[in-house]
Amino acid sequence: MANHHSAFVVFDDSIKEIFGASPSLDLLHENAEYPFAHEAGVFIPEDNSLFITSNQFTDPHTNKPRIQITRVLLSDDGTSVQCEEINPEQVPMANGGVNYKSGVLFCAQGTQKRPGGLAFMASKPPYTSHLMLSSFYGRDFNSVNDVVIHSDGSIWFTDPIYGFEQGFRPKPRLPCQVYRFDPVRNSVRVIADGFGRPNGICFSPDEKTVYITDTDWIHGDGTTDDLRASHIYAFDIVNYSGQPFLTNRRVFAMADTGIPDGIKCDVHGNVYSGCGDGINIWSAGGVLLGKILVDGGAANFCFGREGTMYILNEHRLWRAQLASSTKGALLGI
């Protein structure tokens, strides 16, 4: 299935620099039993591995909803993988994730009995884990969804109500909001509100802009409404009294198919999001440049080395090879 050129759609000629001369899309791994490749997508350069989280599925043994974390070890040539299922104790119903210190910071959505929040997991066995933050001053988060780290050490994350709508979280006690957690001061602030379902979040390479997706188009019961947001919003990050605030909220883009879920920038400032038809790519000015079409769409994805991208497509994990100069802003490799 290599050199699947028809998957690379050009809307603006500048996308050709991103794609490179001969982009390819290859199926790396398929798991028919459950949708293993849904969220997170955290590339660990030290050992060429990838941490991903599954979509929710019913555990055949307990008959309860479950989410599985998988460590995907990539071969040196990137053509084959070994998958290891991991079950850290302190990461209930994992969703998004990001590289953090010597491991992965996961968004734990929580369960009916256990609060979720920000959960740290070591990236090597025995994968020790602990919950860093589970409430807004005593009010439990709804179901923390996605997370990103600022260079100042702060942790920014989104908290929609999908867990309650999907039946595995109690009634929400907080609005659907975006938060900033300062682990040094142990302080957490609401940094943005006014969303239907805040979801993906990322910074521009210069950290002057934060992009946040609103996936209100689809609710947790599966209902959709074309009048609800499937948008990416951009905010300016400004300093007041020594603290960051978000100003100048603006529509950055709308996904034409499904929702813009996971979102990341490359080192040049282009914005990528997993949408209903695959990966959509916009310029920093909000112009749709192109798409990497994946049947069934993509909730999330991540960059590996030198233009490699790993695309999470529920039962399938794909690898796209773009131009080697196309690097993710998170790791810059």
- Tell me: the pLDDT tens digits for 262-302? 999 999 999 999 999 999 999 999 999 999 999 999 999 99
Q: How far is CA 235 from the centre of its chain?
A: 18
Preceding peptide of 35 cis, ω within 30°: no
Structural domain containing residue 193 = 34-266
- Per-residue pLDDT, averaged over 97-118, amounts to 97
For residue 148, being part of any structural domain is answered with yes
For residue 77, being part of any structural domain is answered with yes
Q: Which tokens hold the place of 288?
A: 């749709």
Burial pattern 82-103, b for ≥16 Cβ within 10 A else e, equals ebeebebebbbbbbbbbbbeeb
Domains in the chain: how many in total?
A: 1
Confidence class for position 77, pLDDT limits 50, 70, 90: confident
- Tell me: the pLDDT tens digits for 127-151? 999 999 999 999 999 999 999 999 9
Is it the case that residue 226 has pLDDT exceeding 80? yes
Using a pLDDT cut of 70, give the percent of the chain over it.
Answer: 98
Out of 7-11, 20-24, 79-83, 130-134, least confident range: 79-83
For residue 328, being part of any structural domain is answered with no
Q: How many CA atoms lie within 13 A of 213 on its CB side?
A: 28
Contact predicate 288/282, CB 8 Å: yes
* Per-residue pLDDT, 304: 97
- What 3-state DSSP class applies to 140? strand
Q: What is the CATH number of the domain that holds 95?
A: 2.120.10.30
pTM (predicted TM-score): 0.97
For residue 303, being part of any structural domain is answered with no
Phi-psi region of 173 (alpha: psi -120 to 50; beta: other; left: phi over 0): alpha
For residue 274, being part of any structural domain is answered with no
What is the rounded average pLDDT for all residues in the chain?
96
Going 190 to 194 to 196 to 198, the CA torsion angle's sign is negative
For residue 326, being part of any structural domain is answered with no
Count of other CB atoms within 10 angstroms of residue 204: 17
For residue 22, being part of any structural domain is answered with no
